[in-house]
Amino acid sequence: MEAVLSGFTVIWLIIGVGYVLGRLDVLGRESRVVLSRVAFFVASPCLLFIAVSDASLTQVLGPQFAIAALGAFATGLVFLALCRPVLRRRDGGERVIGGLSASLVNSANLGFPIAAYVLGDVAFAAPILVFQLALYTPVYVAAMDFLAVGTGARRRVRPAPRVMIGQIARTALNPMIVAAMLGLLFSWRGWSLPQPIHESVEIVAGASIPLMLISFGLSLVGSRPLSKTSGRRRDVLLASFLKLVIHPLIAYALAVLLFDMDGHQLLAAVVMAALPTAQNVLVAAIRYESGEIIARDTVLITTVLAIPAMLVVSALLM
């Protein structure tokens, strides 16, 4: 337990550095975007490649992958099932965005640091990241394209076949997917990079977690969720509750009942499910002009509460 507390302390301190930098406006308005892009396009793919290539195939595509997939889909379906009795007069797009807010986790910006400092192995973040990029993203994009919510979205959304082809191409070229696939190939074949190249990749990978946590701290500046005038408080509170409580419980049930997990593997499955809502949900909401308030506020609330929630999970399972 002491190691877990130490890991969370390290994470909060670095997030705090980012928050202070943002409050003082030391790095400028575009700093969060720049740091996030460097992390996403350069440092994080290097980290993911190192983690996956050093892990076994079953560690990436085994039970943890299955729990991530089944848990996310189950939580999203729970939100959709509760929409009619709890949330009324919501269109299809808002319901899908709400379901994503409850089930799509921040597997990169917080997944990597949590896996590294709390679970002791960054490879624990790989299964859920690969699932979300390779499987979940095409599914929810296809659903939103089919719904084509709002007149503005209808004008901009291309015909479904072209959208699907474009999405498949974008997913295949996503730097995280490329890094994961290369890592799986190297793991399967037992290959390794030449030493100078391997060391260079490792050095760049080392910048990933600090960049992501500082960027995360910057994003907290000026956050004011649950506005009285938004009219979507119930949606946000429901999605946040499902994300921080129900999603981890589903992951726990799957891990114990289907895969007979215990110990550190069980802790990893539940902690990864307790990660906050991914910012990709807000990107999708803006893209389809639907559910922006739900996505934005759920991201903010779960982001602030996720680490305390994961600390509780760790205390219960250790």
Question: Would you state the pLDDT for residue 149?
Answer: 42
pLDDT tens sequence across 102-161: 999 988 778 888 888 888 888 898 899 888 877 887 788 778 777 754 444 444 545 556
Looking at the DSSP bridge assignments, the partners of residue 105 are: 277
Higher pLDDT, residue 10 or 74: 74
The runs of H, that is alpha helices, within the chain are 2-24, 31-38, 44-54, 57-61, 63-86, 92-103, 111-117, 126-131, 137-147, 151-156, 160-173, 175-189, 195-205, 208-219, 233-241, 247-257, 263-273, 280-288, 292-317
pLDDT tens sequence across 186-217: 988 889 999 999 999 999 988 888 887 888 78
The CATH number linked to 308 is 1.20.1530.20
Question: Would you state the pLDDT for residue 153?
Answer: 46
Question: Computed over its alpha carbons, how large is the radius of gyration of the chain?
Answer: 19
Question: Would you state the pLDDT for residue 161?
Answer: 63
Question: Would you state the pLDDT for residue 152?
Answer: 47
Question: Would you state the pLDDT for residue 154?
Answer: 46
- Does residue 272 carry a pLDDT above 90? yes
Q: Residue 86: give the domain boundaries.
A: 2-317
Question: Would you state the pLDDT for residue 28?
Answer: 84
Share of the chain above pLDDT 70, in %: 86
Least confident of 15-29, 50-64, 125-139, 159-173: 159-173
What are the structure tokens assigned to 48, written together? 């993911």
Mean pLDDT to the nearest integer, 25-42: 83
pLDDT band at 173 (very low <50, low <70, confident <90, very high): confident
Looking at the DSSP bridge assignments, the partners of residue 277 are: 105
Least confident of 66-75, 141-150, 216-225: 141-150
How many structural domains is the chain composed of? 1
Question: Would you state the pLDDT for residue 101?
Answer: 93
What DSSP character marks residue 107?
Answer: T
What are the structure tokens assigned to 221, written together? 């500046």
User: Could you tell me which residues come within 8 angstroms of residue 20 by beta carbon, excluding any fewer than 6 positions away?
Assistant: 217
Higher pLDDT, residue 19 or 225: 19
Closest CA to 158 of 169, 145, 167: 145
